[in-house]
Amino acid sequence: MKVAIVGATGLVGNVMTRVLEERRFPVTEFMPVASERSIGKEVTFGDRPYSVIGMEEAVGRRPDIALFSAGGSTSMEWAPKFADAGSIVIDNSSAWRMDPSIRLVVPEINAHLLGPQDRIIANPNCSTIQMVMVLAPLHRQYGIARIVVSTYQSITGTGVKAVRQYEMERNDFTLEPVQMAYPWPIFGNCLPHCDVFMDNAYTREEMKLVHETRKILDAPEIGITATAVRVPVQGGHSEAVNVQFRQPFRLEDVREILVRTPGVTVMDDPAHNLYPMPLTAHQRDDVFVGRLRMDESQAQTLNAWIVADNLRKGAATNAVQIAEHMVARGLVGTIPADKIHT
């Protein structure tokens, strides 16, 4: 089982490496891959150092699985080349998510749709993954009419540059100056600005929550509106979600459904100050939900607070789980390279 991590020196790439180790993924040949400026650097996997290789060499070595976390333009250029060489590409960028021919997968929800023809698979956005993990089982039971979501997103979702900006500001700029990731300070601040602003005055991050949620749930009719906020936190993303259902529900039934949902942990005991926080989710793979309560201003509507580690279930762990599913289904290496359609 030859496994490549494209973008191995980045934040998500590092976590992908750790998750492969932790979950004992059956790697027989490990390939850390990155841009030319990182070629020759070392990445440790399984207590052994591996030298970073470039894209051309990685394609030539024909990995069985290529986990991509190297940005959208890199994925658009290189994912088809890996797929044509026989690899299953699991891509963490936004490049392929809304392509109608590409599956957008959260394994607990829709991995059963994957087949041998799926050689490029899209990993959803981190904030989308944690929300649909909680909402998918409720949608199956009650049908969702509308979602209003406000996110409180970790700086790690932006990448290493944002973490360095935060650390510099936290230390009163006594550290060596770094390139700013944000247009304003992030330490001690909140920025209602995740990704770039679009023509409709929403940010791209907000529209990802709209379009990706509809695609994953196969429910284009759901009304969704989002506000995404960057906060000075490193442990994970948080979301305040208000969801209106088409059918009436009882709060105790909602809680029971979520308790039974794999990958979801219910922490909902306000009387004892028990509710999810980024500190709760940090370096853990579950999605945590609490503050479950009826919306007293609107019928058939639920409020929930959802938290997850955006680098793990929001990115690396979800990608590795997709790879595990493909291996378990016997879908790795099942199509000769000259028969693959991408």
Q: Max CA-CA distance within the chain?
A: 61
Give alpha helix (H) positions in the chain: 11-22, 55-60, 72-84, 107-110, 126-142, 160-170, 204-217, 251-259, 278-281, 317-328
Residue among 190, 194, 211, 237 flagged as catalytic: 237
| Cβ-contact 298, 320 below 8 angstroms | no
| 194 included as an active-site residue | no
| 126 included as an active-site residue | yes
Q: Tell the burial category of 183 from Cβ atoms under 10 Å away from its Cβ (0-12, 13-18, 19+).
A: exposed
Residue among 112, 126, 194, 272 flagged as catalytic: 126
Rg, Å, the chain Cα set: 20
Q: How far is it, in rounded angstroms, from Cα 138 to Cα 121?
A: 25
Q: What residues form DSSP beta bridges with 244?
A: 146, 301
What DSSP assignment string belongs to 150-174?
EEEE-GGGT-HHHHHHHHHHHTTT-
In terms of DSSP bridges, do strands 65-68 and 2-6 run parallel, antiparallel, or are they unpaired? parallel
Return the ∠ at Cα 140 (arms to 281 and 262), rounded to 5°: 35
Which residues belong to the active site?
126, 237
